[in-house]
Amino acid sequence: MPGFKVFGTEQGVAVPNVLLKHQWEIVKLGPIQINDTSPARYAKEVELPKISFEEEQVRGAALIYKFASMAKWEDVNVTFYDTEGLAAQIESWRKLVYSDENGIGLASDYKQTSKFRLIDRDASGSTLVMFTLNNSWPKTIGYGQLTYTDSDAKIISLTLSYDYAVIE
């Protein structure tokens, strides 16, 4: 499966033939924890955090002065192959956000940290840059489609909303 390494080691999972010099790895996805026995999981696509600023204008005698008034972090989209029960883990996170029995949950229960890092494959696997999405939660979950004509792996699309990102 082409894509990005998501968790764990590469045991029992087909590794792409072309090994890149750098690789994006998802270190943590909300409450989905990493442990040494987790098989590798791959993301088909990962969108990195984007920030934009609202603008405030102040009129002077002969100029209009512009200032940043508010920062806004854009949602992040991630597309996963449903391997090793990843859909079930994302579904359990979704139930913290909303369930039929309880409605919308408490933000303190569903807002979690998610982390992405760029690793150097040629060296010692050192982290080149780390993105941390603070107070992230699944805003949109798409469970893919099932058809009679396609037997490919099921794909899950996930949109993460978050309060702010830290880039290290």
What domains are defined for the chain? 4-167 (2.30.110)
* pLDDT at res. 87: 82
Residue 133 Rama label (left phi>0; alpha psi -120 to 50; beta): beta
Residue-level pLDDT, tens digit, the chain, 168 residues: 445 555 544 444 444 444 556 667 777 888 887 654 555 555 677 788 999 999 999 999 999 999 999 999 999 998 877 777 778 888 999 999 999 999 999 999 999 999 887 777 666 767 788 889 999 999 999 987 777 776 666 788 999 999 999 998
Give the E-state strand segments of the chain in sequence order: 4-7, 22-29, 41-46, 51-59, 64-73, 76-81, 98-99, 103-104, 112-120, 127-142, 155-161, 164-167
* pLDDT at res. 57: 96
* pLDDT at res. 117: 79
Which positions ≥6 away from 146 have C-beta within 8 Å?
Answer: 154
Could you tell me if 43 and 82 are in contact, meaning their C-beta atoms sit under 8 angstroms apart?
no
Determine the 3-state secondary structure of 8 from DSSP: coil
* pLDDT at res. 77: 93
* pLDDT at res. 50: 94
Tokens of 34: 């990493």
Q: Other C-beta atoms within 10 Å of 49: how many?
A: 18
